Structure 1
């Protein structure tokens, strides 16, 4: 295979579960499961601007959501599963610890190409795009299907013993379910222009989900989201990630669309302000879908295209922040 000069995102697709769950319904569920814990009515709206999320049917696996989105992307492109050269699964959720969930997704799609997982909390899809771009530019593959399937709503069922554990679980109550896929192909014109990633790994303890095979102390919660510590781990990451924009000779005002990780309404506004990007350049999804982790950026791309806000040759920035902490930005020209 000769080395292509560029890669581009040809298709983006999402699979949205039909069922909705509102903030008050989630709060009622937490109270019923944990009768000894008090939860103020309307707290999720007050704290996060949360309204509702999508919830997949019982028995749905992350691979089911990823495969549904991947199937939609291939159908949009008029391609059969055997046209895929590489499949990447890049979710914060997973079916199993071993093997890679990418195998399960590929089996459900009928893809026989090589596969692997990429995991970096909410930045997994961004990292997968960087990897896909590098491999296509190197001439290793011509068509890469990046998939993700998030089942974050399941964390709401975790038991809460006291107010402290409730505070640490509270951000997880806004997590929603969604599948997404991006079809990345070799191109003779620029598509993915640049990518940059940075990390502040000293902040890794701010948000953790324990490994069941390596249990922590008996009094340690399985899921721990320390909002204050997480926020403190982020400053400076957005500026370092956005250096790729300046290195490309562009400025925020040149961007036609900016997709950012959205764990709350206030957080989204703060990030846009720090990047110098007006809110009308973004696509708000948190209030209607909740925090869908790695699927959030593809969701915003898909919604922008659906609403006529994404046109060929538009300059787009995909910006992510994730626990760990890590920041990343992929700069692209939209050329489906």
Structure 2
């Protein structure tokens, strides 16, 4: 028998404010058509003043716990993927822990930018497989609207705020690819490309800074690296692209999503797409998409999913799981 990390619940949360592409036309040399044609994005959500990343994460966590039918105090660990934590420290995860009234276990943040949720899932899976935890709450949450340069039309129109969460629980499996739960992971990074996507602030500069991106270069790396990491994870699970029921990609850009699916030979009707409604929510985008897809009735028990993401670092990876 093999310990598997099985999804028991999923949930998400989006701030109330919806920002349409047309809102940017008043301050930028851009248009709804320009944004849609280059990214596939139609709208996104922005956090309200005083609405923090940990607050978004807490809402998503509560929804995931309710979906799983369990109480917060039965969770052993919280892993929160974010690049926009409320403070330098303590971690946003400990703030969620307190907000949930969770008085046991441990909590910490993972920072791998847009690949953060994949990294967090891999960490949660390792803890469950090793017996260090039986139930892990894995969250992706971001308030990227707080690190945007509103004069840079190439970046500020692409990002949004939101949060998504999964409850993972240890379950005994047969040790085959037919098991439910996480079947394989693949993580990668290459710091030589850090200047392609970064924030020009931090402790060294004593200011928050703004997001900077060489979009064309990121696109060039994204399709090849995403397809390869997904296929590597599938191979580790003893599966192939043909076995995939759903690709649930990082929702950065519709052209990247389409290019990756094409490279993998998976038709777009087997790809979960939410980028049009949320924009790029970085580490929140995969759990957001999972929650929305479950709500739509797309993802069903027993379906084989591949999640993949790439972000600043560059950092990228994939997770294969059976729902």
TM over 0.5: yes
Residue from 106, 110, 116 that aligns with 1:124: 116
8 Å contact kept, 1:238–1:274: no
Distance 1:80 1:17 in 2: 24
Q: Does the residue aligned with 2:41 lie in a helix, a strand or coil?
A: coil
Give the 5 Å matches for 1:156-305.
156=148, 158=149, 160=151, 166=152, 170-189=154-173, 190=179, 191-215=181-205, 222-234=210-222, 236-241=224-229, 242-305=231-294
Give CA deviations for 1:172-227 in whole Å, capped at 9, x if unaligned: 322111111110110012311010112232111101112333229x9xx7321111
8 Å contact kept, 2:219–2:256: no
User: What is the TM-score when the length of structure 2 is the normalising length?
Assistant: 0.91
Does 2:22 match 1:24?
A: yes
Distance 2:219 2:254 in 1: 14
Larger radius of gyration: 1
Q: CA deviation at 1:245?
A: 0.9
Give CA deviations for 1:76-102 in whole Å, capped at 9, x if unaligned: 222222111111111122101111111
Distance 2:313 2:57 in 1: 24
8 Å contact kept, 1:8–1:192: yes
Does 2:311 match 1:313?
A: no
Q: Where does residue 176 of structure 2 map in the other structure?
A: none
Distance 1:332 1:141 in 2: 18
Does 2:84 match 1:93?
A: yes
Distance 1:236 1:51, change over 3 A: closer
Give the 5 Å matches for 1:9-88.
9-28=7-26, 31=27, 39-42=29-32, 43-88=34-79
Moved more, 146-155 or 117-126: 146-155
Q: Does the residue aligned with 1:311 lie in a helix, a strand or coil?
A: coil
Distance 1:229 1:7, change over 3 A: same
CA RMSD in angstroms comes to: 2.0
8 Å contact kept, 1:56–1:177: yes
Gaps of 5+ in 1: 32-37, 161-165
Give CA deviations for 1:213-271 in whole Å, capped at 9, x if unaligned: 3229x9xx732111122223446423431222123332212111110112112121111
Q: CA deviation at 1:148?
A: 2.4
Give the 5 Å matches for 1:324-335.
324-334=313-323
Q: Where does residue 34 of structure 1 map in the other structure?
A: none
8 Å contact kept, 2:117–2:283: yes
Q: CA deviation at 1:4?
A: 6.3
Count of equivalent residues: 313
